[in-house]
Amino acid sequence: MTKPTLALIGTGGTIAGAASTASVSTDYKPASLSLAAVVDTVPELRQRYNIAVTQPMQLASYDVRPEHWLDLHAAVMQAVNNPDVAGIVVTHGTDTLEETATFLHLSVDSDKPIVVVGAMRPATAYSADGPANLLDACCVAACPGARERGTLVVMNGRIHSGLWVGKRHVSSVEAFDSPLAGAVGEVADQAVQWFRAAGRAPTVAWQTPSTWKTPSEWPRVDIALAYAGVDETAMHAFVAAGARGIVHAGLGNANTPTAYRAFIQSLPAQGVLVARCARFITGSVTRASVYADAQHGILTAGPLPPHKVRIVMLLGLAHGMDGHAIQGWIDRILLAG
């Protein structure tokens, strides 16, 4: 039987981390080992698959920036365009794993499985979870049922949509879940079980299918967090720094104190796009609840959290979308579920 070919793309992170002793699992140096070295700790990988390893970067994920996403996107697309490759696995640190997964989910227009995987404990720990997670991720990437699902995240035996997954615990191996959407499947002992039919949100190229425009530079998009007693100081600073978009992570149903509501409403007319979402809680922000959003050109992001709304705005603005087009894209993303 012919072994499927998988492209493994390394970016660093805890899954490649090393600590001073095997009994330490939280005090370590991430991105210490190459992906090739990590693969060698799981001999079954090369027994089951033809493995092609590339390493476009070696970073702790708290140092990953949108500029790095472009290098990763290029590496992923090279694998996508290789007819011999059945699936792609990206190893990544967990601090920003959900952001990178969201970026790939919304920027790579391909039916091939793309699986992002990490670890909560370094490779040197007695209880390292990276080897099992990597084996599971490769199993999912090689599974025909993973096609047409966009970018997936595999952690601790669960399969999540890259769009909806989030890190919910700082150190537990059970750190990742999808609070509203739920997991899309699970994997155990090299067997994959899907909980729902394949489907995915439209990418940034939804208006012009299969068209990806590599940004020459990213537009500045910031997140302004609301809290008791907040004023417009942070937003003024973002505007002064050249922000083209601001995500307002609001209170409750994306609310904000009355005192500076008028300032927020004035920003779109100044060329600064504003999107409303909730700050820490789950649930779908309703349009025009207190803001008269459409009247002022303010976007609403439904249940998307602030850091993922920022990625939608980054991609949309970089591809020349105006506020109306980005809101249409958000609406289609939410409709796809």
Q: What is the CATH number of the domain that holds 264?
A: 3.40.50.40
Query: Within this chain, do residues 235 and 117 fall inside the same structural domain, yes or no?
Result: no
The verdict on residue 167 lying in a domain is yes
Query: Within this chain, do residues 225 and 187 fall inside the same structural domain, yes or no?
Result: no
The verdict on residue 215 lying in a domain is no
75-81 contact pairs (CB < 8 A, 24+): 75/9, 76/9, 76/104, 76/108, 76/114, 77/108, 77/212, 79/7, 79/9, 79/52, 79/112, 80/108, 80/110, 80/112, 80/114
* pLDDT at residue 180, rounded to an integer: 87
Query: Within this chain, do residues 111 and 246 fall inside the same structural domain, yes or no?
Result: no
* pLDDT at residue 292, rounded to an integer: 74
Residue that finishes a domain, picked among 176, 194, 212: 194
Query: Within this chain, do residues 51 and 106 fall inside the same structural domain, yes or no?
Result: yes
The verdict on residue 135 lying in a domain is yes
Give the domain range for residue 243: 221-336
The tens-digit pLDDT sequence of the chain (337 residues) is 689 999 999 999 999 999 999 888 888 889 899 999 999 999 999 999 999 999 999 999 999 999 999 999 999 999 999 999 999 999 999 999 999 999 999 999 999 999 999 999 999 999 999 999 999 999 999 999 999 999 999 999 999 999 999 999 999 999 999 998 999 999 999 999 999 999 999 999 876 655 788 888 999 999 999 999 999 999 999 999 999 999 999 999 999 888 888 899 999 999 999 999 999 888 888 887 666 788 888 999 999 999 999 999 999 999 999 999 999 999 999 998 6
Q: What's the CATH code of the domain at 187?
A: 3.40.50.1170
Show the CA angle centred on residue 91, arms to residues 90 and 94, nearest 5°. 120
The verdict on residue 212 lying in a domain is no
Show the CA angle centred on residue 92, arms to residues 87 and 97, nearest 5°. 100
Query: Within this chain, do residues 22 and 76 fall inside the same structural domain, yes or no?
Result: yes
From the list 2, 5, 14, 21, the catalytic residue is: 14
Query: Within this chain, do residues 23 and 136 fall inside the same structural domain, yes or no?
Result: yes
* pLDDT at residue 80, rounded to an integer: 97
d(CA 246, CA 267): 9
Mark whether 96 is an active-site residue.
no
Query: Within this chain, do residues 251 and 114 fall inside the same structural domain, yes or no?
Result: no
The verdict on residue 182 lying in a domain is yes
The number of folded domains in the chain is 2
The verdict on residue 254 lying in a domain is yes
* pLDDT at residue 257, rounded to an integer: 85
